[in-house]
Structure 1
Amino acid sequence: MMNLLKRLQYPILAPLIGLSLWQAVVWLTNAPHFILPGPLRVAQAGYKNWESISGHALVTATEIGLGLVIGILLGVATAINLATSPRLARLSLPLLVFTQAVPVFALAPILTLWFGYGMGSKIIMAVLIIYFPVTSAFYDGLSRTPSGLLDLARTMGARPSQVMWRIKIPHALPSLASGLKLAAVYAPIGAVIGEWVGSSNGLGYLMLLANGRAKTDLMFASVFVLAIMTVVLHRLISMLANRVSAMAASGEAPPKI
């Protein structure tokens, strides 16, 4: 019981301190509630509008989840292909880096124009924003396989596929874990930006709607729901990443897809 309390003291204490500072700023500045509502007013708005918020949150969560799964699968597949073919890597890596020079936020209107105002453009936006971190992190791990192990594998006549699945991928799993943690934070950003540009559902749409009607407390409530979703997602992905790292430490080969 004491160990559980020690583990929970910081996750509980940090939000309490943040809420206290927030309320202190409201009291000290005497800001109007439509400029800076207090925590209690935001909580009341969230309670009163919970049915609407939960419906929009479900849409955003679906976009984030699908974008995350697709982006991770594409990133992992790309990294493995780049590590398998050095020529492909030399041709593709500069192009991947160049695509990151284009602000992904600027692509949101184009994606909305191409794929409409539905869920598709938001999922693609989430995929784009997490694809490069996952690909880059995993490819970097695949490229840093100890040369001694590769020489030993060649000496023993291992096939390229065996080298990839039995040596390179297990050693690159910690790098993949780092990429997954970044993806968990970036995916909600892509989905919400897509909703800001053009949507009729989702937390991003609800934020814009509340802002246009001067319902700042509802906007803050939507932001907090999004933040909680992101924290929970990051925690779940971190647990998965820890499992992936444990596989690498134990020498367990990943299952073939």
Structure 2
Amino acid sequence: MVERTKPSTAQQLAAFLEQSWRPIALLVALFVAWWVVTAAELVEPYLVPSPGDTIAAITANPDYFWQHTWTTTYETLLGFVIATVIGVFAALVMVQSATVEKTLYPLLLFAQVIPKIAIAPLFVVWLGFGLGPKIVVAVLMAFFPVVISMVTGLKSVDPEMLELSSTMGAKPAQTFWKIRFPASLPHLFSGLKVAATMAVTGAVVGEFVGADAGLGFVILQANGNLDTPVLFAGLLIMSLMGVLLFVLVEWLERLVLPWHASRRGDNVTTTF
């Protein structure tokens, strides 16, 4: 008999450090390389600013960056939530009906391969210069990973489990909620992690086309003024936003699926 025990706080911290020290070390190495290149003046400062100048650009005007960061964060979160809801619903419909799946799947692929920057101006024309176009682009960017991962998860259920539930007289709704849906969650969360970063990109792409606020607006303004410290600051904040949203989804995965997380790292105690 195998009994899984909940790890202590110290064990969780040790596991976190074990999993995260490599990417942290890589980021530190890249930061040091960035600092060395700029300190040695291997490139002109107007091309690549130093880390100190980039951070100074943020600290010199924190309210400015906070306002635009909050705008992009709001667009990203709203687009991510909408994409998740629509994507899960579309996946459920596609799995239930082969006709719907054969009809929608090519359309989804067609919509995915279209560059969002190419169609973003249309949303500005249709929806104006408010939050609407940015949220729509964020939804389009995040939707595809959600629906594909959910469809994959719903189809990856062990057929023997479905036969067993049918033999025991389980109704379709019971089979779905007790077997299909829980089994699809690991796949769904994998798609959500990808969608989280794509939503950030979508919001910024929407801001590139037409906006008076947001990190995309900051980057465009800085590029036009050749203000590379502010430009790099905007890129840095945008990257951190995507990382934080990814980590948030991963934390929710461990909270919602402790059984799945335990298979990847928790201690196992064997008793006889």
Q: Give the TM-score, by structure 2 length.
A: 0.85
Shift of 1:245: 3.4
Q: 1:135 corresponds to which residue?
A: 147
Compared CA separation, residues 38 and 236, structure 1 to 2 (3 A): same
Q: 1:81 corresponds to which residue?
A: 93
2:129 to 117, 124, 145: 117
Separation of aligned partners in 2, 1:203 and 1:183: 19
**For the Cα contact (< 8 Å) 1:134–1:179, is it kept in 2?**
yes
Following TM superposition, where does structure 1 have runs of at least 4 consecutive aligned residues deviating by more than 6 angstroms? Answer: none
Per the alignment, in what secondary structure is the counterpart of residue 169 of structure 2? coil
Q: 2:113 corresponds to which residue?
A: 101
Separation of aligned partners in 1, 2:110 and 2:42: 48
Separation of aligned partners in 2, 1:9 and 1:89: 42
Q: 1:207 corresponds to which residue?
A: 219
Higher RCO (Cα < 8 Å, 6 or more apart): 2
* 1:1-257 alignment runs, 5 A limit: 4=13, 7=17, 9-10=21-22, 12-246=24-258
Q: Give the TM-score, by structure 1 length.
A: 0.90
Separation of aligned partners in 2, 1:180 and 1:2: 28
Of 168-177 and 22-31, more deviation after overlay is shown by 22-31
Separation of aligned partners in 1, 2:189 and 2:10: 30
Of 95-104 and 205-214, more deviation after overlay is shown by 95-104
Q: Which amino acid aligns with 1:105?
A: I
**For the Cα contact (< 8 Å) 2:80–2:196, is it kept in 1?**
yes
**What are structure 1's unaligned runs of at least 5 residues?**
251-257
Q: Which amino acid aligns with 1:181?
A: K
Separation of aligned partners in 1, 2:10 and 2:174: 47
**What are structure 2's unaligned runs of at least 5 residues?**
1-8, 263-272
Compared CA separation, residues 225 and 249, structure 1 to 2 (3 A): closer
Q: Which amino acid aligns with 1:139?
A: V
**For the Cα contact (< 8 Å) 2:94–2:101, is it kept in 1?**
yes
Of 155-164 and 51-60, more deviation after overlay is shown by 155-164
Of 34-43 and 148-157, more deviation after overlay is shown by 148-157
Q: Which amino acid aligns with 1:157?
A: G
For the aligned residues, what is the CA RMSD? 2.2
Per the alignment, in what secondary structure is the counterpart of residue 257 of structure 2? helix
What's the % identity of the aligned pairs?
36
Per the alignment, in what secondary structure is the counterpart of residue 113 of structure 1? helix
- Post-superposition Cα deviations, 1:73-118, rounded to whole Å, max 9, x if no partner, equal 1111111111122222222222222222322222211111111111
Compared CA separation, residues 30 and 177, structure 1 to 2 (3 A): same
Separation of aligned partners in 2, 1:186 and 1:177: 14
- Post-superposition Cα deviations, 1:157-184, rounded to whole Å, max 9, x if no partner, equal 3222222211111111110011111111
Shift of 1:52: 0.4
Q: Which amino acid aligns with 1:65?
A: L
Per the alignment, in what secondary structure is the counterpart of residue 117 of structure 1? coil
Corresponding residue pairs, total: 250
Q: 1:254 corresponds to which residue?
A: none
Per the alignment, in what secondary structure is the counterpart of residue 67 of structure 2? helix
**For the Cα contact (< 8 Å) 2:254–2:261, is it kept in 1?**
no
**For the Cα contact (< 8 Å) 2:207–2:214, is it kept in 1?**
yes
Shift of 1:243: 3.0
**For the Cα contact (< 8 Å) 1:177–1:242, is it kept in 2?**
no
Of 19-28 and 213-222, more deviation after overlay is shown by 19-28
- Post-superposition Cα deviations, 1:132-169, rounded to whole Å, max 9, x if no partner, equal 11000010110111111112222233222222211111
Compared CA separation, residues 12 and 157, structure 1 to 2 (3 A): closer
